Amino acid sequence: METHLDWNQLVDVLREELQEKGGLIQLLNQQTEVLYLRLADDNRRLEDQIRKQLLVASSCAQKREQSVRELAARKNLADGAGPSEILEWFPQYVQPLLEALFSEIERLSGRMEERLRQNQQLKTRFFSEAASMA
């Protein structure tokens, strides 16, 4: 029964992180539109929301990392064991679900970083053009 609780808790942590990172990507997509439209007030509002959502997403990532560390310790795995080592300890029928969740978190994390980088470039361009026109 302990294994069932372990994977249910892990699924909850992973789903929460996916949800929060998805919310952040949605805000970043909104910001991209606002930047292209050069709506400074809307961008300031979104900047505040993005900062808050980044903190929430970061907290979720920390919870996931802590859960993985705790599971690894309970299974007597080496310190720093990753998801692939931990998945082997779960029943075969749940491994694909956990693998998909870990994979989707990795994919969303990359997408989030890329969108943050793109939006930063857009902000730099937008604000430098606005300053040169003033």
Mean pLDDT in order along the chain per 10 residues (134 residues)? 73 97 98 94 96 98 93 86 88 94 97 96 82 63
> Whole-angstrom Cα distance, residue 44 to residue 49?
9
Residue 74's pLDDT is what? 87
Which amino acid does the sequence have at 90? Answer: F
Residue 132's pLDDT is what? 66
Domain boundaries, the chain: 2-133
What is the pTM for the complete model shown?
0.87
User: Which CATH code is given to the segment(s) 2-133?
Assistant: 1.20.58
